[in-house]
A and B are shown apart, each in its own frame.
Chain A
């Protein structure tokens, strides 16, 4: 999709549909477009069916098939950036190689949209995957 619109595309892969929707909204608000999936097989199917050039994948490293999915995506997009969605108790050594990590919110933790805008902007800066100037909507509190 990048090739058509100039807007970076993030593929969000997690079993928690709430988190997928949340990240979809926050990534969009900071200027990306988002493709959702609840497992790795679906992620590959959607990126194929939508003919998407995926720039970033944000994925739960505990999902079955995650390494193979990343490998497949990287074969199509060598510059793919990988963000792992870590649980608090994840063992870092078992995770696939990644460019960045974000921590999954837990329990009754209050979700701050502003904080997540800052967090994801910081991650994208780190990955050098910046949305086009003027894209995205201002943070809302």
Chain B
């Protein structure tokens, strides 16, 4: 898995500019983390995704510096099952209203078990622009 260095807790402007941002509106769930413990669960939709982070909209304000985990079910399999899930971990670097930018230090695709895979619904694709 590619991951930014764990110590990199700030994203400089030049780093941000080195990552292409892809306009994708996908439903996500997120967990606010504290010392690896799940604190609170929320939901939202991505605005864009890059190799270094994600910008998403949520229904609440999340302060900068908050450790966070985002999850989305891979929506691009067409057979009505979603055995893959993208999990990203990082921290909030900017929060304006309910638009939240996170810097990812870790991301991975995970498979569900065969049985679980049939029960997982793909993330609805909200609406894409670009």
Measured between C-beta atoms, what is the minimum distance from B97 to chain A in Å? 23
Interface size bucket, A side?
Answer: 35 or more
Bound form: Cα–Cα A43–B104 in Å:
21
In-complex Cβ contact of A38 among B17, B107, B125 (8 A):
B107
Bound form: Cα–Cα A22–B48 in Å:
10
Task: Tell whether A37 is near chain B: CB-to-CB under 8 Å.
Answer: yes
A-B contact count (CB 8 A): 107
A-chain residues with CB within 8 Å of residue B74 when the two chains form the complex: 24, 36
B-chain residues with CB within 8 Å of residue A134 when the two chains form the complex: none
* Cβ contact within 8 Å between A111 and B107: no
B-chain residues with CB within 8 Å of residue A140 when the two chains form the complex: 128-130
* Cβ contact within 8 Å between A18 and B108: no
Give the interface of B toward A (CB within 8 A). Answer: 1-2, 17-24, 26, 48-51, 74-79, 83-84, 86, 88, 104, 107-109, 111, 125, 128-130
* Contacts A/B (CB < 8 Å), 12 sampled: A5-B78, A16-B19, A16-B50, A18-B51, A27-B76, A28-B75, A38-B107, A42-B109, A106-B20, A108-B17, A109-B20, A111-B22
